[in-house]
Chains A and B, each alone.
Chain A
């Protein structure tokens, strides 16, 4: 409006020059603050975006950098924003050419599926017992089962290693077999599934089980024909969580086999072999590519299953 001489050194406006109300001189931030005071929703919205962006960046940046790492040639310079003309995507094929990476992935998926099936079967039986039957000592037993999942896996390793390599019972040699991994996986991840399924099975009305039994099923038949289908969202949740947990497991996956694909070594073994893909140098690029490929099955599963779980929960399958 008028010249700088109107504004005093402390930022205030010289008094007395005019009595008329004047438009305050504001910068963009001041204008935003002024609007925000009139409409506080703007602040919440802004905070929401700030928080969302923060979480997205912190979660996704490692993935982004993994991608950059993979497609930047070993000879090129590593930068957060790589030079587009030097990128090479052939590294994703190289992963499969250098080693039998497909076999490692297959091992992982088979181990995860088999463990999930085993866990769901046993956890269903346990969930039925804990969720639907009354017996003395139910609470303490449930707590005991849950407590197992809190133990550090490392605490089990030495005795299990001794057992699986045949040092405890001669003739029992599970090292380098799927059993050496599935057994500890099941034991560690089953408590969570039992907990989830107990909650779900406990909510199915007694009348439905009674009706099934009168109609001609046994208790087990009622469990698998009526209670499990009605608890589909819970079973799906338990299954997906178990699958992901097993697929991502590192400790036993790495220690219960010698890292060879034909010995049921899962993806961990594959990535460690990729580390040795080059002759003298550590080949970060190809490891990064392998890691990205390894993520894909879980990412797909989560996207599909989440939709299923949410739709299952909202369709009111438990309404009587």
Chain B
């Protein structure tokens, strides 16, 4: 059993808090991915688990054992590094067997285990090569073999696929998933690549500024983000956010004419409260192209600005009217801009006036601090059957 627990783990450097009161509880055999933007503390979290860094405060447990002050070698872990980190002066066999040789295993046992590990990662017949004679993907497989050969309790992977080309990355992704199924070990995986996080993990831990924002299965993070950060971070392209406030009969946006009618009191809201409405691009529809939406909002007059045909869908940048005249062209998220995705065969043109509607059952509402208020802005009767109200808070 190798359950990994972080209890109130904090890591402070001189004037930076890299990890701030982190609580994680990862079950045996679970595949958990740490995601977040650069500098969010995901690598530092990984280092405190591996023992390469000692946390300033807090406790790290692996398999119910307090390992906070143990060196990496005594923690029963193995790790795959972003820069692969094969020992350049050793051949593949020596690299893979390095940890076993340090632990004084018998020669036959080492040979047996190295052969097995090489077989898992399909490296048979390459054991006498030097790392600099191998391709990036082969080196990565050697690194994985080196990690699995010791049969560790916990596998740590720090962006192991980041240095591979796109095609190889997808291939290795499926291989890693297969490996996880075969090995039945706990895997903690760090990445900033959303596709890796969404496809491989049992649960995703979203980190920002050293704090855990949400830890939940990938689709829960996607459908019911705990806060505005998770909402905009998970999903590509990211969720539209529309600032506005609660009125007596629903939501009205500050810019543009996005309005949703509902009874504020049903969601515990008070009129005058500033909120942010979130809607994913795929939940925005052109009024004329859809007619079977169960819970549509009132039509929002917009004008299409830029089209991005992706092949399987088209991304349409919509500008709400009053902004188009005001000409707000700030960097990043324009306050009046809405991104919509439509079918590739839809008849949309650039610079075309169109009314759009939003799927109310897929709307998200966040309060001033960015915490989620509700997912799905559907009136009470329908809300009972929908996912609305099942908040997932960022606690342990």
* Interface, chain A (partner B; CB < 8 A): 205, 207-208, 210-218, 221, 226, 229-230, 316-317, 319-320
Contact = CB atoms under 8 A, between A and B. Distances in A.
B73 A214 contact: yes
A128 B85 CA distance: 19
Given A210-B52, A211-B79, A319-B132, A217 B73 contact: yes
Contacts of B146: 215
Given A215-B73, A215-B78, A207 B102 contact: no
Contacts of A213: 51-52, 71-73
Contact of B85 (A207, A229, A319): A207
Given A217-B73, A319-B132, A212 B87 contact: yes
Nearest to B52: A210
B163 to A, nearest CB: 11
Nearest to B132: A319
B102 A217 contact: yes
A216 B83 contact: no
Given A207-B83, A213-B73, 6 more contacts: A213-B72, A214-B50, A214-B156, A216-B73, A316-B132, A319-B132
B52 A214 contact: yes
19 contacts: A205-B85, A207-B81, A207-B82, A207-B84, A208-B87, A210-B79, A210-B81, A211-B86, A212-B98, A213-B72, A214-B73, A215-B73, A215-B78, A215-B99, A215-B102, A216-B99, A221-B102, A229-B89, A317-B89
A214 B71 CA distance: 8
B332 interface: no
Given A211-B81, A214-B79, A215-B99, A319 B73 contact: no
Contacts of B89: 226, 229-230, 317
B88 interface: yes
A262 B43 CA distance: 61
Nearest to A318: B88
Nearest to B102: A216
B72 A214 contact: yes
Interface residues of B, number: 26
Nearest 10 CB-CB pairs, A to B? A207-B85, A215-B99, A211-B85, A216-B102, A216-B73, A214-B79, A207-B83, A214-B72, A216-B99, A213-B72
B82 A317 contact: no
A220 B156 CA distance: 23
Most buried by B among A205, A208, A210, A218: A210
Contacts of A210: 50, 52, 72, 79, 81, 85
Contact of B88 (A212, A214, A218, A230): A230
B103 interface: yes
A216 B132 CA distance: 23
A221 B71 CA distance: 12
Contacts of A208: 85, 87-88
B316 interface: no
B77 interface: yes
A226 B99 contact: no
B47 to A, nearest CB: 8
Nearest to A316: B132
Contact of A319 (B72, B79, B87, B88): B88
A231 to B, nearest CB: 10
A230 B156 CA distance: 25
A229 B84 CA distance: 19
A309 B215 CA distance: 53
A319 B73 CA distance: 26
Interface string B151-176: 00000100000000000000000000
Interface in B123-149: 132, 146
A177 B73 CA distance: 43
Contacts of B88: 208, 230, 317, 319-320
A133 to B, nearest CB: 13
Contacts of B85: 205, 207-208, 210-211
Contacts of B73: 213-218
Contacts of A230: 87-89
Nearest to A221: B102
A207 B158 CA distance: 11
Contacts of A319: 88, 132
A276 to B, nearest CB: 52
Nearest to A229: B89
Interface string B231-258: 0000000000000000000000000000
Contacts of A212: 87, 98
A269 to B, nearest CB: 42
Contact of B83 (A205, A221, A229): A205
A205 B51 CA distance: 18
Most buried by A among B50, B77, B82, B83: B83
A1 to B, nearest CB: 69
A142 to B, nearest CB: 21
